Amino acid sequence: MEDWRPVPMTREVDYAPKPIDPDFMNKPDEYPETGTHYDHKILGEGKARTDANGSPYPTKLGIHGTHVAVDWEACIADGVCMDVCPVDVFEWELNPGKKGTGNDRVLDHGAAEWQKYRTDKSDPIRESDCIDCMACETACPTKAIKISP
């Protein structure tokens, strides 16, 4: 008989994710606007921040979006945000056109993409379609998402 175990959808990371700072939009020194991506703002990309243990995050990807904000350091490719969103706000950054649990692009440890991202990231590419239902914010296991109606 084969040994069957469920495959975890949350990707293992080498840091301790912490929830998105709920007040990030009021802290321009910590989270300056550093670019745009799919018509949403990126805040704090390239800035060093610390994880839940006070250690430096190994990535500097920042927060993507303002209405639907995803802290890419805290995002660990769970995908439940995509599963619960009734208006398809999110897609995987590294697997364009795909969404949902188990459809993320799995990265090889040590590869260049892994060095940059650690995991695929939930990207709010249709941020303006958000209906403020808060399902994604509530469901995210690392609390990486903040909806600001």
Q: Does 39 fall in a domain?
A: yes
Domain count, the chain: 1
Dihedral through CA 59, CA 60, CA 61, CA 65, nearest 10? 140
Residue 10 has a pLDDT of 66
- Cβ–Cβ under 8 Å, residues 82 and 94: no
| pLDDT score at 11 | 80
pLDDT of residue 4: 45
At 6 the pLDDT is: 45
Q: What is this structure's pTM?
A: 0.92
73, part of any domain: yes
Per residue in 94-136, pLDDT (tens digit) is: 999 999 999 999 999 889 999 999 999 999 999 999 999 999 9
Q: Is residue 116 part of a domain?
A: yes
For residue 100, give the CATH number of its domain.
3.30.70.20
Range of the domain at 40: 24-147
Residue 11 lies in a domain: no
- The segments of the chain whose pLDDT lies below 70 read 1-10
